[in-house]
Amino acid sequence: MSEKLYLYPIWLRVWHAINALVILILIATGISLQYIDINFEMMKFDSSVTFHNIAGYIMAINYTFFVIANFVTGNIRFYRIKPKGLVKKLLKQSNYYAFGMFKGEKTPYPITKDRKFNPLQKVTYVFFMFVIVPLLIISGLALLFPEFILPRVLGFSGIQLTAMLHASTGFLVSLFLIIHIYISTTGKPISANFKSILNGYHE
């Protein structure tokens, strides 16, 4: 029996649960709004708008809480990337996911109390949580208050560029979600990581 590590404090689990729920709502309503048609209405348009807007506000507030809590609790240390040897580490982890795990090799960067994420996870999470998600939230809020959007940017419609940024970052987050859920099944047993994010302990 391996050592039990308390890696996911309650604030993080609550944030994660709320984030998961609103992101699912946002993806469903976002797809409904983007691909709605006179012959294909996944959800009533006005209901989609209302749910998307409410979920968007909740996500923005929840994200702000996530950033503040990370700094206050010191959890931000898990996201600190050391550039030295990073490429080598990323290749090593990718190699494990692509080949090593099928040969029964051990993960090159196992979870410890000081290393919650492997290098590939760390880079992905930092890119999404501190680049993509802020862009998604800012562009979403801008679309809620279009009076603040510049009418034209470099000859393009400001609102259209903002909408494109919002749809593109939203698409990336939906891809992230699928890969995130799949990678979570690589624990031993398959349900291990799902249990961890519910009870806070990594075994």
Partner 1 sequence: MFSRSLLLTGLLLALCCTTKGATAGEKDKLPAKFEENKHCFQCHSQQFYTFDNPVSERKERKAMNPNFVYNPQEFYKGVHRNFACTDCHAPEYETFPHNAELRLEPKYACIDCHGGDPEYEKYHFEAVEEDFNKSVHATRHSEDFTCWMCHDPHSYRPMTHGNHTITEIVTYHNNTCKRCHNNSYNFQRISDSIKPALETIHSFLPNFELHFSNVRCIECHTSAQDTLWVHHNILPKKEARRNCIECHSSNTILLGSLYKYQNLETRKSRGFVNSVILNEAYLIGANRNEYVNLLSFIIFGLTLTGIAIHIVLRILKK
Nearer to partner 1, 7 or 60 (CB): 60
> Smallest distance from the beta carbon of 172 to partner 1, in angstroms?
9
Interacting residues with partner 1 (CB under 8 A): 33-38, 41, 44-46, 49-50, 53, 97, 101-104, 146, 151-152, 155-157, 159-160, 163, 171, 175, 178-179, 182
> Smallest distance from the beta carbon of 82 to partner 1, in angstroms?
28
Nearer to partner 1, 44 or 88 (CB): 44
Nearer to partner 1, 7 or 163 (CB): 163
Nearer to partner 1, 130 or 156 (CB): 156
Taking alpha carbons only, the member of 74, 71, 82, 62 closest to residue 7 is 74
Q: Which residues of 94-114 are buried (b: 16+ CB within 10 A; e: fewer)?
A: eebeeebeeeeeeeebebeee
> Smallest distance from the beta carbon of 147 to partner 1, in angstroms?
8
> Smallest distance from the beta carbon of 57 to partner 1, in angstroms?
14
> Smallest distance from the beta carbon of 160 to partner 1, in angstroms?
4
Nearer to partner 1, 72 or 179 (CB): 179
